[in-house]
Amino acid sequence: MAENTPEPGQTKIELRHVHKWYGDFHVLTDINLEVGKGERVVVCGPSGSGKSTMIRCINRLEEHQRGQILVAGIELTADIKNIEAIRREVGMVFQQFNLFPHLTVLQNLTLAPIWVRKTPKKEAEEAARYYLERVRIPDQADKFPGQLSGGQQQRVAIARSLCMKPEIMLFDEPTSALDPEMIKEVLDVMVELAEEGMTMVCVTHEMGFARTVADTMVFMDRGEIVERSPPKEFFANPKSDRTKLFLSQILAH
């Protein structure tokens, strides 16, 4: 997969000296990260390293206490207008899918375009069906989430985010809650998305996917970014001991 180096003015996400505490616990320490347009970043690390917390800070599902975060050129502060503007441009896929169980699949997809982007219903539904087609479950439009398998639900979740036509997609361990046989169908969709040039930040343990798709591998441990390099270098020549330890554990089988 071709590497993408961010051009100036094309940086989509910037984290500068970001710190976060839960009470006394320093969960993010001096995080500095830049993600350029079209860049695919995979974040990995042991549990509790702060990877999910970091990407959840990007769309303000968590608040950072110190440092600056800029998303699509907008600074992320307590200002609700900024937050809403950023959330419109950033799509998020959760580990637990979080589909709305009282709405059909189609309604799940059209809800945000109708109420946030004020799209007319017909247009929203056309777009929804298009994305359902893209994630390869066009015939499930009128079913309810409870009637779908885990892999199908996660693909619907991806389509739901895509319907908002975001500039950036965040994935928070998207396949960790799936049964093994369903992981591939979700990863295939994510690979397609990457191939089309979507800017992605993905927290995952799926190293095969990382090798295929990532432009940059980021290793986090105990709240810090320990190492950052292209996948070839990352897997072949990890610089830090902690990275080496983590890779040995995760690639052992």
Partner 1 sequence: MAGATAGIVRPKRPPPWNDPRVRGIIFQVLFVAAVLGIGAFLVHNTLVNLHRQNIATGFGFLGREAAFGIGESLIEYAPSDTYARAFLVGLTNTLYVAALGIVLATIVGTVMGLARLSGNWLVRKLAQVYVETFRNIPLALQLFFWWGLLRQGAPAPRQAWHLLPGVLVSNRGIVFPVPQPSPVYGWMGLALLIGVAATWAVRRWATQRQARTGAPFPTGWAGVALIAGLPLAVFAAAGAPLHLDMPELHGFNFSGGTSLSPEFGALLIGLVVYTGTFIAEIVRAGILAVSWGQSEAAMALGLSQGQRMRLIVLPQALRVIIPPMTSQYLNLTKNSSLAVIIGYPDLVSVANTTMNQTGQAIEGITLIMAVYLTISLTISASMNLYNRAVALVER
Partner 2 sequence: MTDITDRDLPLPAENRAPRTHGVLHWLRVNLFSSIFNTLLTLLALYLLAITIPPVIRWALVDAIWSAPNGNACRGDGACWAFVGEKLRFIVFGRYPYDQQWRPLLVVLIFVSLIIASCNRRLWGRRLGALWLGGLVAVGVLMWGGVAGLPYVETLLWSGLPLTLILAVVGMAFGFPLGILLALGRRSDLPAVRAICVAYIELVRGVPLITVLFMASVMLPLFLPSGFTVDKLLRAQIAFILFAAAYLAEIVRGGLQAIPKGQVEAADALGLGYWQRTRLIVLPQALALVIPPLVNTFIGAFKDTSLVIIIGLFDLLGTVNAALSDANWQGFYVEAYVTVAAIYFCFCFFMSRYSQMLEREFNKSRRR
Given candidates 63, 73, 75, 100, which one binds partner 1 under the rule CB under 8 A? 100
The verdict on 102 binding partner 1 (CB under 8 A) reads: yes
Q: Which of residues 20-59 bind partner 2 (CB under 8 A)?
A: 21, 23-24, 26, 29-30
Q: Give CA–CA dist 69/14, Å, rounded.
A: 6
Place of tokens 């079913």: 143
Query: Of 91-99, 183-191, 208-216, 220-228, which part binds partner 1 (CB under 8 A)?
Result: 91-99
Q: Taking the complex as a whole, how short is the minimal distance between the CB of residue 30 and partner 2, in angstroms?
A: 7
β-pairing verdict for 216-221 and 224-229: antiparallel
Q: Taking the complex as a whole, how short is the minimal distance between the CB of residue 126 and partner 1, in angstroms?
A: 13
Q: Taking the complex as a whole, how short is the minimal distance between the CB of residue 9 and partner 1, in angstroms?
A: 24
The verdict on 61 binding partner 1 (CB under 8 A) reads: yes
The verdict on 101 binding partner 1 (CB under 8 A) reads: yes
The verdict on 65 binding partner 2 (CB under 8 A) reads: yes
The footprint of partner 1 on this chain (CB under 8 A) covers a number of residues equal to 37
Provide the residue type at 58 as one letter.
I
Q: Which does 161 bind (CB under 5 to 8 A by kind): partner 2, partner 1, none?
A: partner 1
The verdict on 66 binding partner 2 (CB under 8 A) reads: yes
Alpha-carbon distance values, 105 to 101, 110, 165, 166 (Å): 9, 9, 17, 19
Provide the residue type at 129 as one letter.
R
The verdict on 19 binding partner 2 (CB under 8 A) reads: yes
Can you spell out the DSSP letters for the chain? ----PPPTT-EEEEEEEEEEEETTEEEEEEEEEEEETT-EEEEE-STTSSHHHHHHHHTTSS--SEEEEEETTEE-SS-HHHHHHHHHHEEEE-TT----TTS-HHHHHHHHHHHTS---HHHHHHHHHHHHHHTT-GGGTTS-GGGS-HHHHHHHHHHHHHTT--SEEEEESTTTTS-HHHHHHHHHHHHHHHHTT-EEEEE-S-HHHHHHH-SEEEEEETTEEEEEE-HHHHHH---SHHHHHHHHHHS--
Q: Which of residues 221-240 bind partner 2 (CB under 8 A)?
A: 224-229, 239-240
Comparing CB distances to partner 2, the nearer of 3 and 126 is 3
The footprint of partner 2 on this chain (CB under 8 A) covers a number of residues equal to 19
The verdict on 81 binding partner 1 (CB under 8 A) reads: no
The verdict on 68 binding partner 2 (CB under 8 A) reads: no
Q: Which residues bind partner 1 (CB under 8 A)?
A: 59-61, 84, 87-88, 90-92, 94, 96, 98-102, 111-112, 114-124, 143-144, 146-147, 157, 160-161, 164
Q: Report the interface residues with partner 2, using CB under 8 A.
A: 17, 19, 21, 23-24, 26, 29-30, 65-66, 224-229, 239-240, 242
